[in-house]
Amino acid sequence: MRIVLVDDHPLIRSGLATTLSMNGFEVVGEAASMAEGLAVINSTKPQICVVDINLGAGSGIDLIKMSNTKNTGCKFVVLTMHDDIQTLEAAKSAGASAYITKGAPIDALVEVLKSIMKYDSSFLKVGDIKKPVKKKDFQLTQRELQVLSLLPTGATAAAIGSMLFLAEATIKSHLASIYKKLDAANRAQAVSIAISENLISEQ
């Protein structure tokens, strides 16, 4: 099986080349960038390209798209440190045959390569992929967020009212609504919750 390795780290390429060669694969080319990768694929006509996401000025995803546009017939296995679902989906949409995180054992890569060529299977995923944490919706209004953002300063309701050109009573009304929506007992707890939920930044 003819393999091309595209990764901007020479040590990683070297380690992969050694391991793959020991497992019966023929590494016919290496590249460190998107442009080099496309040139090597065009010149060596590999069956599979093992590619990283980060390639300096370009990306592995762009390489996959460009290669598929040129109908090179090469299949792509993404081997990357990125363990988020967004990058995985982007690689899959670009036309990758498999996605492997670099935390996975090298044996997993070998098995994926064999599987792709033997069974021409559907998209393969190996490694732990983190799903995005859904941000809580506290249903705060823009005005409440403004008031909330000023709480860490220690300003009084009257002072916040002056800054926002609102009456002190209006600010107190907003504060009551904020505490209720955040399920906070007081200002300190509201600030703590808001910071932990990335609603505001620490002063």
pLDDT digits (tens, 9 = 90+) for 17-74: 999 999 999 999 999 999 999 999 999 999 999 999 999 878 999 999 999 888 888 9
> What residue ranges do the domains of the chain occupy?
2-126, 142-196
Burial class for 20, CB neighbours closer than 10 Å (0-12, 13-18, 19+)? buried
What strands lie across the sheet with 2-6, from one edge to the other?
26-31, 2-6, 48-51, 75-80, 98-101, 124-126
pTM over 0.75: no
Handedness of CA 117, 94, 53, 101 (dihedral sign): negative
Q: Which amino acid is at 5?
A: L
CATH entry, 142-196, from 3.40.50.300, 1.10.10.10, 3.40.50.2000, 3.30.2270.10? 1.10.10.10
Band (pLDDT 50/70/90 cuts) for residue 122 is confident
CATH superfamily of 2-126: Response regulator (3.40.50.2300)
Q: Which residues of 144-165 are buried (b: 16+ CB within 10 A; e: fewer)?
A: beebbbbbbeeeebeebbeeee
Rounded to the nearest 5 degrees, what angle is found at the Cα of 98, between the Cα atoms of 93 and 104? 130
**Cβ neighbours for 149, distance < 8 A, ≥ 6 positions apart:** 200
Instruction: Give the per-residue pLDDT at 73.
Output: 85
With CA atoms as reference, report the closest residue to 171 among 141, 146, 147, 140: 147
